[in-house]
Amino acid sequence: MEPSSEESDPVARRKDGSATTPDDPAAAPDLDPSWVEAVQRRLIAWYDHHHRPLPWRETRDPYRILVSETMLVQTTVAAAIPFYHRFLERFPTIDALAAASEADVLKVWEGLGYYRRARLLHQAARVVVERHGGTVPSDPHTLAELPGVGRYIAGAVRSFAFDQPAPIVEANTQRLLARWLAIQTNLKAKPTQDRLWRAAERLVPPDQPGRFNQAFMELGALICKPTQPDCPLCPVTELCQARTLGLEERLPILSAKPTLLEGRELAVIVTLTHGGDANASTQSILLVQRGSQGLWAGFWEPPILHLDGANPAERPTIGPQPTSDDLAKALNALVGLPLVFSEISSSARVSSSSPLVTPSAWEDCDDAPFQLQANSPPSREPRPRRTRRSPADRSSIRYVVTKHRMTLEARQARVASPTASPPAANVSTATPEPRVARSGNLVEARFVTRDHLAALALTGPARSILSPWLAAVR
């Protein structure tokens, strides 16, 4: 195969800054069959002795591989494993997944984040059942037509389930390729991505391609890490152009991360006590369901209002300093029902006896990471350590979602009720209120008891705020 003009470009430079030439092996070592064969042989030999026993490596079932690879997009292996087991326990076959409701699928997926993946996986299952008799297709073109199946997932399913020599390029393998080939262009640029895919296609062998691809990813996960790669333990270190040129710490080249936009929100925990007993176990909590578009589409949360700054979730805006009267009017406008409040707290501080806000680990939202913060800069690690602070020590929580850093304050409100029964399950949201800029992204409001709370799919901020109630019913 003749190298393209892109592959002949002198992208690699030595320590002294001098450029390689098209005839130099550093420019495109993957065009050398002996280099390719050496990488294949050394990588597979290393994998046989050092790979991790991951659950999806124990099966050739294309459905289970499709589930695992969908989960592993933008998610670490450690985070995906418990969800993989839980998901397959609930949906053991593709027919079971296809027959489920979207609400059931999202609830089982809850906490893993990037919920669009779950929706597309559900749609793919229905297509497989309706058009392919419940059998995941092995044909590359048919497989690629399934919802949510892009080039990487298609390559993973083809090589792991059907033993087809399909290339894969994902977070780990593209880092390896950038270093092996000493590519000094932006990793996310289209010409660079095209170059990586061509190299991956040349590297995957016709014999045991699935084993090679697993080894390919495993080396990136365990040895060739984003920072401080453990080159002395790498089985192909002598074949790595970045190592030869002294560039292993500088590659790959990534775009600068954008500055996060700041915003403030206010969550109001509205409770209704039944039977005159103020114990939390006898209370219902007011939740609203988000619409079918935007962040956390279709998920439930307490009423959350936008105060100022950025507003990525498109919540109704009330202004930076709302009074208790402002909140009462805003909440009535939000749910479309004239609720009578017996109390609305005037302070956002969460007392040690109040079950409003507790620490939580990393969460994910629909299209980007959701991360709780304890008034600290955002972590760049996939799973930051849990920060434990007493609820009495803070008046708000902070989280990162998409390209925003949000501060979420909390207040508590109690609804006066002369009866022991909660309101009807569905509360209309049709009545407008001119004091609040309504987002139009809420479809239902409901008072929920503790027993029913755990059955609903909650947004990331809601899971953190309501964690005491969730813990009580587990």
The catalytic residue among 2, 37, 69, 238 is 69
What distance in Å separates the CA atoms of residue 295 and residue 314, rounded to the nearest whole number?
9
| Catalytic status, residue 381 | no
- 265: tokens are 């929100």
Residues making up the chain, counted from first to last: 474
CB contact set of 413 (below 8 Å; sequence gap of 6+): 268, 269, 270, 271, 327, 328, 331, 341, 343, 344, 345
| Sequence-distant contacts of 257-262: CB under 8 A, at least 24 apart | 257/380, 258/403, 260/378, 260/400, 260/403, 260/404, 260/405, 261/309, 261/310, 261/312, 261/403, 261/404, 261/405, 262/309, 262/310, 262/404, 262/405, 262/406, 262/407
What distance in Å separates the CA atoms of residue 401 and residue 288, rounded to the nearest whole number?
20
What distance in Å separates the CA atoms of residue 331 and residue 230, rounded to the nearest whole number?
55
- DSSP β-ladder status, 261-273 and 404-415: parallel
Sign of CA dihedral 434, 438, 440, 445: negative
- 171: tokens are 């977070």
User: To which residue do tokens 């609804």 refer?
Assistant: 415
- 77: tokens are 């292996």
What distance in Å separates the CA atoms of residue 414 and residue 352, rounded to the nearest whole number?
18
- 215: tokens are 């080894």
Residue 285, classed as helix, strand or coil, is strand
Q: What is the DSSP string of 122-166?
A: HHHHHHHHHHHTT----SHHHHHTSTT--HHHHHHHHHHHH----
Sign of CA dihedral 79, 373, 356, 337: negative
Sign of CA dihedral 431, 435, 441, 445: negative
Q: What is the DSSP string of 44-111?
A: HHHHHHH----GGGG---HHHHHHHHHHHTTS-HHHHHHHHHHHHHH--SHHHHHHS-HHHHHHHHTT
Q: Give the amino acid at 199.
A: A
CA 442 to chain centre: 23
Residue 209, classed as helix, strand or coil, is helix
Residues serving a catalytic function are 69
